[in-house]
Amino acid sequence: MKVLVGIKRVVDHNVRVRAKADGSGADIASAKMSINPFDEHAVEEAVRLKEAGVATEVVVVTAGAANAQDVLRHALALGADRAILVETTDHLNSLASAKVLREIAKREAPQLILIGKQAIDDDAAEVGQMLAALLNVGQATFASTIKIANGKAEVTREIDGGQETVELTLPAVITADLRLNDPRYIKLPNMMMAKKKPLETIAIADLQLNTVSKVATINVAEPPARAVGKMLNSVEELIEVLQAQVKVN
């Protein structure tokens, strides 16, 4: 069984992102970039499926500029077998990203597609569901447990107030939540090996897609700062605040 994993290069989760002064976007020109954390969980899960003998090959794909090779190498170091870069300097919205993944899925014909539940830059959580619709296959979003057997995936999903388990006929798309696994620490030899693994580059023009979005960002700004709070001196003062602010049972 082949597993395709979609990943995205985003500003590292430890970086505090600010708006550009002219409001045209986020100021990320010199920010440290990393693999989107949720996508790292998706790669880890795919690699574990291979280690368990369920998957035979793990292929990772991203769309972006040439420098997005770094997150593909990261995924290869985690244990993916080969990587595909769909090269573009354009910003792709969710639907365009889903269409790129659809084209790669058509070429690769994976039985399972894994992707993070959302990217930590736009926090949209849309691409997996869109891809599943475009491929007319089942979807399990926000997955915390995945079991593959007999051409089906049994997936436990995090939903409001609890969990839900669904069964999907393969091929299918599953989006990874943080609870799915703990991505492994990458050792130096794995990093060296990843440099030798195949990385194919495809120009986005070759996919012949319309990737222009009708959703445009017209301004990006920081939310208004909260007024400076008051530090209290005793438990008694806090009790007074609570008694004034909250109706007690």
Residues of span 185-214 touching other proteins by CB under 8 A: 213-214
The Cα–Cα gap between 119 and 116 comes to 7
Q: Is 209 helix (H, G, I), strand (E, B) or coil?
A: coil
List the one residue from 86, 93, 148, 181 that touches other proteins (CB under 8 A): 93
CA-based R_g, the chain, Å: 21
Q: Please identify, among the stretches 12-20, 63-71, 76-84, 195-203, the one whose residues bind other proteins according to the rule CB under 8 A.
A: 12-20
Of the candidates 115, 124, 171, the residue with the CA atom closest to the CA atom of residue 148: 171
Torsion sign (Cα): 144, 149, 152, 154: negative
Q: Kindly state whether residue 220 participates in binding other proteins, applying the rule CB under 8 A.
A: yes
The Cα–Cα gap between 174 and 152 comes to 12
Minimum CB separation from other proteins for residue 65, in Å? Answer: 20
Question: What's the token pair of residue 126?
Answer: 């849309």
Q: Please identify, among the stretches 42-50, 61-69, 83-91, 115-123, the one whose residues bind other proteins according to the rule CB under 8 A.
A: 115-123
Q: Please identify, among the stretches 50-58, 83-91, 153-161, 191-199, the one whose residues bind other proteins according to the rule CB under 8 A.
A: 153-161
List the one residue from 65, 66, 203, 232 that touches other proteins (CB under 8 A): 232
Tokens 């609890």 locate to: 162
List the one residue from 138, 148, 180, 183 that touches other proteins (CB under 8 A): 138
Query: 33: part of which helix (H) or strand (E)?
Result: strand 33-35
List the one residue from 154, 186, 197, 199 that touches other proteins (CB under 8 A): 154
Minimum CB separation from other proteins for residue 184, in Å? Answer: 17
Q: Which is nearer to other proteins, 29 or 218 (CB)?
A: 218
CB-based contact 46:80 (threshold 8 Å): yes
List the one residue from 111, 129, 145, 190 that touches other proteins (CB under 8 A): 129
